[in-house]
Amino acid sequence: MSYYPEILSGKLNAKYTWLVTGAAGFIGSHLTEALLSVGQNVKGLDDFSTGTQENINAALNNSGHAENFTLINASITDLVMFYIMPRSRQFLSLCNSR
């Protein structure tokens, strides 16, 4: 996360794709909102064990950049995701349809 302060202050011009774990929770949804607000891409991972879709909706609405967000409905413990995810749109669809 060493880039985070630079991103928030607008000093970093590069656009990255960030994986935010717990994106439907309190901290994760605010982090997602902050990153989207400065034009970054976010993949939000959450299994909705305690988080809510409402938190994500609020982050997307407040950021004004919902188009740069992808929801991954899966558990971080599902480690196979990290080997398959970069290459497989099908796997992402599978996660979202759980």
Ligand X SMILES: NC(=O)c1ccc[n+]([C@@H]2O[C@H](COP(=O)([O-])OP(=O)(O)OC[C@H]3O[C@@H](n4cnc5c(N)ncnc54)[C@H](O)[C@@H]3O)[C@@H](O)[C@H]2O)c1
Cβ-Cβ contacts under 8 Å for 97 (sequence gap 6 or more): 73
- CA dist 37 and 75 (Å) reads 25
Q: Does 48 bind ligand X (CB under 6 A)?
A: yes
Figure out which of the listed residues 7, 35, 44, 46 binds ligand X, where binding follows CB under 6 A: 46
Task: Write down the least CB distance from residue 37 to ligand X, Å.
Answer: 18
Strands (E), 1-98: 17-21, 41-46, 69-73
| Residue (24 or 71) nearer to ligand X, CB | 24
Q: Does 33 bind ligand X (CB under 6 A)?
A: no
- CA dist 23 and 88 (Å) reads 21
| Residue (4 or 48) nearer to ligand X, CB | 48
Q: Residues 52 to 91: which contact ligand X by CB under 6 A?
A: 75-77
Task: Write down the least CB distance from residue 13 to ligand X, Å.
Answer: 29
Closest CA to 68 of 98, 90, 35: 35
Residues within the interface to ligand X (CB under 6 A): 21-22, 24-28, 45-51, 75-77
